[in-house]
């Protein structure tokens, strides 16, 4: 079980530090503006952009499509503010709290603002890999804790027969291919969730005040896991702030579980 603990910690460090903002950002295009509002609108429409870099009178900034729709002239372009910027080497997980409250952030490459990342970019493969990776690490910790709580197959008394039968079927398939582990290694995510639900002491140790709060949290995690596994839209029936908040809380739960 100690090996499982160390493996899960190592994986968390890899996911936290190896995937960066650069991996999901897009090239940020600048348009040299005159006083023509129409030329800027045309550039936005041509590229299907919501935001466009703008250079006017030697000043670099940006314009937002929805704001221009209300204007009759170009006017002053928006200036970049320090809280609008993030380094391209920033770990992706550190971007999540920012995109929870902002729709977009501009990316610094050395001393140049030449990339952008928006909530839409959270649909990209690196983000999906990160979230699924965190959920998989969470599942590894669930399994590790369950093995400690229920030795010698005692967990079987707490699961329904059809759930145990499903695990036995998978166990038999792996055994036929010389991939045998313990039967408990083949129970499903929902089974691991339910087995830990039986121990309120452990739930409190990892931050849950009640079984209800635990069940609500893991229902959201399982729904998100299913969307990722089946390549569905992550925000279907939810919102980006909710998805971001859930991912942040999964990471926090993993860290608390590492201490159990």
Residue-level pLDDT, tens digit, the chain, 260 residues:
555 555 677 777 787 888 999 999 999 988 888 767 788 888 888 888 889 988 888 888 898 888 887 777 777 788 999 999 999 999 999 999 999 999 999 999 988 999 999 999 999 999 999 999 999 999 999 999 999 999 988 999 999 999 999 999 888 888 777 666 789 999 999 999 999 998 999 999 999 999 999 999 999 999 999 999 999 999 989 999 999 999 999 999 999 999 88
pLDDT at residue number 178: 65
pLDDT at residue number 250: 96
Does 224 fall in a domain?
A: yes
pTM (two decimals)? 0.86
pLDDT at residue number 241: 94
Does 236 fall in a domain?
A: yes
3-class secondary structure, 62: strand
Which structural domain range is residue 83 located in? 25-119
CATH code of the domain containing 30 = 3.10.580.10
pLDDT at residue number 3: 54
pLDDT at residue number 218: 97
Which one of 84, 119, 154 terminates a domain? 119
pLDDT at residue number 175: 76
Say how many domains are in the chain. 2
Two structure tokens written together for 29 = 């295009």
pLDDT at residue number 100: 93
Q: Are residues 74 and 129 in the same domain?
A: no
Does 19 fall in a domain?
A: no
Q: Report the distance separating Cα 85 and Cα 104, nearest Å.
A: 10
Calculate Rg over the CA atoms of the chain. Answer: 24
Angle ∠(213,218,222) on CA atoms, nearest 5? 155
Ordered strands of the 30-32 beta sheet: 30-32, 51-56, 59-64
Q: Are residues 92 and 160 in the same domain?
A: no
Buried b or exposed e, range 234-258, using 16+ CB within 10 angstroms: bbeeeebeebbebbeebbebbeebb
Does 137 fall in a domain?
A: yes
């Amino acid at each position: 079980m100690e090996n499982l603990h160390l493996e899960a910690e190592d994986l968390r460090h890899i996911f936290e530090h190896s995937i960066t903002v650069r991996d999901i950002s897009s090239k940020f295009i600048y348009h040299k503006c005159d006083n023509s509002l129409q030329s800027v609108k045309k550039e936005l429409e041509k590229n299907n952009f919501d935001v466009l870099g703008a250079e006017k009178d030697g000043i670099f900034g940006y314009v937002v499509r929805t704001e221009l729709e209300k204007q009759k002239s170009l006017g002053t372009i928006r200036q970049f503010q320090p809280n609008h910027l993030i380094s391209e080497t920033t770990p992706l997980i550190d971007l999540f709290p920012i995109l929870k409250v902002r729709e977009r952030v501009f990316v610094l490459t050395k001393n140049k603002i030449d990339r952008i990342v928006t909530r839409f970019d959270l649909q990209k493969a690196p983000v999906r890999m990160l979230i699924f990776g965190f959920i998989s690490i969470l599942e590894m910790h669930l399994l590790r804790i369950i093995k400690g709580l229920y030795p010698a197959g005692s967990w079987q008394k707490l699961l329904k027969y059809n759930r145990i039968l499903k695990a036995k079927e998978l166990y038999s398939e792996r055994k036929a291919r010389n991939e045998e582990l313990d039967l408990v290694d083949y129970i499903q995510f929902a089974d691991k969730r339910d087995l830990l639900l039986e121990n309120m002491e452990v739930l409190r140790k990892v931050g849950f005040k009640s079984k209800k709060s635990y069940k609500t949290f893991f229902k959201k995690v399982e729904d998100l896991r299913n969307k990722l596994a089946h390549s569905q839209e992550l925000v279907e029936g939810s919102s980006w702030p909710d998805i971001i908040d859930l991912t942040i809380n999964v990471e926090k739960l993993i860290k608390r579980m590492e201490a159990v």
